[in-house]
Chains A and B, each alone.
Chain A
Amino acid sequence: MRPREIAVVGAAETTRLGVIPDMSQIELHADAALNALADAGLKPGDIDGIATAVETPQQIAHYLGITPTWVDGTSVGGCSFMLHVRHAAAAIAAGYCTTVLITHAESGRSGIGRPPRQVAPDSLAGQFEQPYGPMGPPSLFPIPVLRYMKTYGTTHEQLAMVAVVQREWAALNPRATFREPITVDDVLNSRMIAYPFRLLQCCLVTDGGGALILTSADRARDLPQKPVYVLGTGESVETPMVSQMESFTSSRAFRVAGPTAFREAGISHADVDHLMIYDAFAHLPLYGLGDLGFMPHADTGPFIAARQTAIGGKLPLNTNGGGLSYMHSGMYGMYALQESVRQMRGTAPAQVKGAKISVAHGVGGMFAASGTVVFTNEA
Chain B
Amino acid sequence: MAQPTRARPVPTPETQHFWDGTRRGELRLQRCTACARSYFPPRPFCPACGSRKVEVYAASGKATLYSYVIHHRPAPGFTPPYAIAVVELAEGPRMMSNIVDCPQTPEALELDMPLDVVFEALDETITLPLFRPAKG
Contacts and interface: CB of A to CB of B under 8 A. Distances in A.
Interface of A: 119, 121-122, 124, 126-135, 138-140, 142-147, 150, 191-197, 241-244, 248
A133 B82 contact: yes
A158 B73 CA distance: 24
A149 B100 CA distance: 24
Interface residues of B, number: 35
B128 interface: yes
A193 B98 contact: no
Contacts of A130: 7, 9
B41 A128 contact: yes
B72 A127 contact: no
A121 B8 contact: yes
B124 to A, nearest CB: 16
B97 A132 contact: yes
Contacts of B6: 131-133
Interface string B84-95: 111000000011
Given A133-B77, A133-B84, A243-B95, A127 B69 contact: no
Closest 3 CB pairs of A and B: A127-B9, A195-B70, A130-B7
B17 to A, nearest CB: 12
A241 B85 CA distance: 13
B131 to A, nearest CB: 10
A126 B12 CA distance: 11
Contacts of A138: 73
Contacts of A193: 72-73
A359 B115 CA distance: 43
Given A131-B122, A143-B84, A147-B67, 7 more contacts: A121-B10, A127-B12, A128-B41, A134-B71, A139-B84, A146-B69, A241-B96
B11 interface: yes
A243 B68 CA distance: 10
A195 B84 contact: no
B48 to A, nearest CB: 11
A140 B67 CA distance: 11
B113 interface: no
B61 interface: no
A128 B96 CA distance: 7
Contacts of B69: 139, 142-143, 145-146, 194-197
Nearest to A130: B7
A142 B98 CA distance: 16
Nearest to B43: A124
Contacts of A119: 7
B81 interface: yes
Contacts of B98: 132-133
Contact of B66 (A133, A195, A248): A248
